[in-house]
Structure 1
Amino acid sequence: MITPENWRKSSYSGGGDGNNCVEIANSPTHIAIRDSKAPFRAALTFPAGAFSTFVEALKGEGRSTRASLAGLDN
């Protein structure tokens, strides 16, 4: 179960108020991600195994893919 105290900010959130990235929460079976600028909006929830596969794929693709996914390639 994902509860309010499960959420933590990404280490890439940056300085200042740290509201420039995502927050993540996990349970034994699922991972949830939400926008740290809008924490009360919907969160994306993935089965834990699928999220791990997604993260590993990002690591393997390099910076250009991560920038594209983050909308930084425009």
Structure 2
Amino acid sequence: MERNAWRTSSRSGSNGQCVEVRDRGAQVDVRDSKAPDAGTLRFGPIAWDAFISGVKASH
């Protein structure tokens, strides 16, 4: 993942229901692409790894 660049989740469809992620090194930001100014979730590296592991385990 390129640092500081927002990218759309590979799981997002073409219907506009997208989640965007950006790697800022010390944190990972997540936002709703339909409302980018509405707020951002921020994860530290350990929390992000735990989140991703949990998502993968649920599928």
2:18 is matched with 21
Task: Give the SS at the match of 2:50.
Answer: helix
**Stretches of 4+ moved more than 2 A in 1?**
none
Task: Give the SS at the match of 1:41.
Answer: coil
Counterparts in 2 of 1:1-74, with a 5 A limit?
3=4, 6-15=5-14, 19-62=16-59
2: CA distance between counterparts of 1:12 and 1:38? 18
Of all paired residues, the percent bearing the same amino acid is 35
Normalised TM-score (structure 1): 0.65
Unpaired runs of 5+ residues, structure 1, are: 63-74
Higher-RCO chain (CA-CA 8 Å, sequence separation at least 6)? 2
Identify, as 1 or 2, the structure richer in helix.
1
Which of the pair has more CA radius of gyration? 1
Normalised TM-score (structure 2): 0.79
Unpaired runs of 5+ residues, structure 2, are: none
